[in-house]
Amino acid sequence: MTSETPVHYRIIPSQPAAHLFEVTCTVAEPDPAGQLFSLPTWIPGSYMIREFARNIVRIEAHAGGDVPGESTARAVSVEKLDKATWRCAPVRGPLTLRYEVYAWDLSVRAAHLDDTHAYFNGTSVFLRAHGQDDSPCTVDIQRPAGPAYTDWRVGTALPRAGAEPWGFGTYRAADYDELVDHPVEIADFAHASFEAGGIPHDIVVYGRQNADLERLARDLKRICETHIQLFGELPPMERYVFLVMAVGEGYGGLEHRASCSLMCRRADLPQAGLGTITDEYRTFLGLCSHEYFHTWNVKRIKPEAFLPYDLSREAYTRQLWAFEGITSYYDDLGLARSGLIDAENYLELLGQTATRVWRGAGRFKQSVADSSFDAWTKFYRQDESAPNNIVSYYTKGSVIALALDMTIRRATGGERSLDDVVRTLWQRYGRAGQGVPEGGVERVAAEVAGSDLSEFFEHYLYGTEDPPLADLLADVGIDFTVRAADNAADLGGKPGKATADEIARRGTLGVRSGADNGGARLLNVFDGGAAQAAGLSAGDLVIAVNGIRAAKDNLEKLISSYPPGTNVTVHAFRRDELMSVEVTLQPPPLDTCVYTLKTNADESTAARREAWLGPAAPTT
Ligand SMILES: [Zn+2]
């Protein structure tokens, strides 16, 4: 089979049991000096070098088009140049590369294949033909052989070029960048659809589940329409697809230009007859809201450093606070504005986010701008020291977005807000196809606020201070308070249950632990805490406190039964060596955040709150 496009791919989930895709790439006019091919080392949206090419297990080339099953009579030699790049010997006329890709990464970032489904991102399976990045390409997605796969369908936002709706066959992309920005789910999946912004939206759900997809479609429609209303329009696209993998345990999402890949627990999906929104379903809706907001913010409004993407190496920017933090701010705000959750519910989510920030002393060491820049080696490669040494540009970025929103509202007497900032970013950069220069978001914010915000960004974005949430939130009649956690399971966002007296009598160790080997494995040992002062480290296995056996289940209880200031003896193994340390327990830190509605807010305060949590004002 030959193709009319300069680059043509064929992919077949050829050996589901061995998790192998067979892929061919035919280049009509290869480089006469020897055609180069390479696979990306990272996937946009997930800022870590992942070396996808390590999963290419066999590769060969022949002169001529892609003829399935034909022998490679005119074999062309292929030389590997580096971890991700191959060069074919010079040939005249079409050149076809044939290779196999091992796909056993059940995540939204790579590729996964077994006899229940085939899922892939183009960055994992489609080698890039150098010099042809801007050429249109086609991809023929083929059904695996055998009766087990007759019910499989193809779910993707890739535009069809001959394939029937949901069918195997030929799809197309305008260039390589587009080709790898449409993940593909192939399975006997469940499906629901709705319309938003005049565009069909599909929900494709792979996995064993029994969810009420009609309910999900209704709720997602409201979220999508809320975001469309904020920006004033949906970027041009034929359709949008939510690709969902429902599994036992797992969570994640990745944004694309006209779709997103989501992984959730099947219990997160709405069950039939569910009248309310459970915490789990609320989390899932927040994830959908987040990825959909990215359709504008990062997929089109993007840092200059991503234009174009260089997928061969890290792309550095200090702006991820804006692309992930502002998106994280609007994901839950979108649930409130769409009316899916009430104000109290929203404040709980806001409090949980702030709590995640307040529990990390690393926020005093690393600025959010630096966290963004170092995402590749720090945020995405967290170890046991993360709470002490780094800050999340997601959570603190969203706290900064909230503070910025309130700051702009205050500066303009409620005339303007962060909504105007993201709309301006869309109009000036996203819609125009221009990258946002470093510092560009800050400049737009200052322009919208009509005032100098350099101190704001100096302190909270480039510095390590906590934004003054209590002061700012008072404008909308909300109290921001920080208290001690009730226990290790306390996520924040709600008033505490423990009395001041109970808290005062509770000693703490300053650790996070997990069950392991009959003891309590220390996962993190917090800076400034009692355990660290006594010489305990992450990785240590605590087995006893004052001679009483300790495990994950009872460690906290044992410790909190002693008041702060008490010395206790802790027995722990470090590797295979038993150690005994004296620990002086400390009072519980104030690290748990709560937002509450002031009951006595005056009329203008209530109006400001309504303007914030209500639907976004239409674009002017
Ligand atoms: Zn995101």
pLDDT digits (tens, 9 = 90+) for 12-41: 999 999 999 999 999 999 999 999 999 999
Separation of 253 CA from ligand 1 center, angstroms?
Answer: 8
Separation of 607 CA from ligand 1 center, angstroms?
Answer: 31
Rounded-to-integer distance, Cα 322 and Cα 304, Å: 13
Separation of 113 CA from ligand 1 center, angstroms?
Answer: 25
| Chain mean pLDDT for the chain | 96
Separation of 88 CA from ligand 1 center, angstroms?
Answer: 38
- Three-state secondary structure of 206-242: ECCCCECHHHHHHHHHHHHHHHHHHHCCCCCCCCEEE
Given this model, what pLDDT does residue 620 score? 43
Given this model, what pLDDT does residue 619 score? 47
**Residues 491, 497, 499, 504, CA torsion sign:** negative
Q: Residue 318 — very low, low, confident or very high, per pLDDT cuts 50/70/90? A: very high
Separation of 259 CA from ligand 1 center, angstroms?
Answer: 13
Separation of 297 CA from ligand 1 center, angstroms?
Answer: 9
Tokens (6 digits) for 618: 């239409």
Rounded-to-integer distance, Cα 366 and Cα 391, Å: 6
Separation of 469 CA from ligand 1 center, angstroms?
Answer: 23
**Residue 43 and residue 109 in contact, taking contact as beta carbons nearer than 8 Å:** yes
Pairing between strand 137-141 and 169-173? Answer: antiparallel
- Tell if the pTM clears 0.75, that is, is over it: yes
**Residue 510 and residue 542 in contact, taking contact as beta carbons nearer than 8 Å:** no
Given this model, what pLDDT does residue 73 score? 62
Place of tokens 């779910």: 155
Rounded-to-integer distance, Cα 69 and Cα 481, Å: 68
**Residue 367 and residue 461 in contact, taking contact as beta carbons nearer than 8 Å:** yes
Separation of 290 CA from ligand 1 center, angstroms?
Answer: 6
Radius of gyration, CA atoms only, the chain: 27
Q: Residue 617 — very low, low, confident or very high, per pLDDT cuts 50/70/90? A: low
Whether residue 4 has pLDDT greater than 80:
no
- The residues, ordered by sequence, that sit 6+ positions from 474 with a Cβ below 8 Å of its Cβ are none
Q: Residue 71 — very low, low, confident or very high, per pLDDT cuts 50/70/90? A: low
Tokens (6 digits) for 619: 């674009």
Which stretches within 535-573 are classed as H helix?
555-560
In DSSP terms, which residues pair with 577 in a beta bridge? 574
Separation of 447 CA from ligand 1 center, angstroms?
Answer: 25
Given this model, what pLDDT does residue 616 score? 62
Strand ranges in 469-589 using DSSP code E only, listed in sequence order? 478-484, 511-516, 519-525, 541-545, 548-549, 567-574, 577-584
Q: Residue 70 — very low, low, confident or very high, per pLDDT cuts 50/70/90? A: low
Given this model, what pLDDT does residue 315 score? 97
Separation of 351 CA from ligand 1 center, angstroms?
Answer: 19
Separation of 134 CA from ligand 1 center, angstroms?
Answer: 27
DSSP symbol at 143: P
Rounded-to-integer distance, Cα 334 and Cα 398, Å: 13
Tens-place pLDDT, residues 394-409: 999 999 999 999 999 9
Given this model, what pLDDT does residue 66 score? 84
DSSP symbol at 428: I
Separation of 442 CA from ligand 1 center, angstroms?
Answer: 19
Separation of 255 CA from ligand 1 center, angstroms?
Answer: 7
Separation of 327 CA from ligand 1 center, angstroms?
Answer: 6
Separation of 587 CA from ligand 1 center, angstroms?
Answer: 36
Tokens (6 digits) for 332: 């839950």
Separation of 382 CA from ligand 1 center, angstroms?
Answer: 17
Separation of 287 CA from ligand 1 center, angstroms?
Answer: 9
Whether residue 369 has pLDDT greater than 50:
yes
Given this model, what pLDDT does residue 274 score? 80
Mean predicted confidence (pLDDT) in 123-142: 97
Separation of 166 CA from ligand 1 center, angstroms?
Answer: 27
Mean predicted confidence (pLDDT) in 535-553: 97
Separation of 20 CA from ligand 1 center, angstroms?
Answer: 29
- Amino acid letter, residue 427: Q
Separation of 24 CA from ligand 1 center, angstroms?
Answer: 32
| Residue 383: Cβ-neighbour burial (10 angstroms; 0-12, 13-18, 19+) | exposed
Rounded-to-integer distance, Cα 167 and Cα 16, Å: 19
| Residue 492: Cβ-neighbour burial (10 angstroms; 0-12, 13-18, 19+) | buried
**Residue 266 and residue 208 in contact, taking contact as beta carbons nearer than 8 Å:** yes
Whether residue 72 has pLDDT greater than 60:
no
Whether residue 289 has pLDDT greater than 60:
yes
Which residues neighbour ligand 1 (ion) by CB within 5 Å? 324
Pairing between strand 548-549 and 567-574? Answer: unpaired
Angle between helix 326-337 and helix 418-425 axes, rounded to 10 deg: 120
Tens-place pLDDT, residues 235-278: 999 999 999 999 999 999 999 999 999 999 999 999 988 878 99
Separation of 394 CA from ligand 1 center, angstroms?
Answer: 8
Tens-place pLDDT, residues 171-218: 999 999 999 999 999 999 999 999 999 999 999 999 999 999 999 999
Given this model, what pLDDT does residue 281 score? 97
Separation of 331 CA from ligand 1 center, angstroms?
Answer: 9
Through-space distance between the first and last CA atoms of the chain, rounded to whole angstroms = 52
Range from 70-79, 241-250, 383-392 carrying the lowest mean pLDDT: 70-79
221, 300, 428, 558 from 422: Cα distances, Å: 21, 12, 10, 49
Side-chain half-sphere CA neighbours of 340 within 13 A = 28
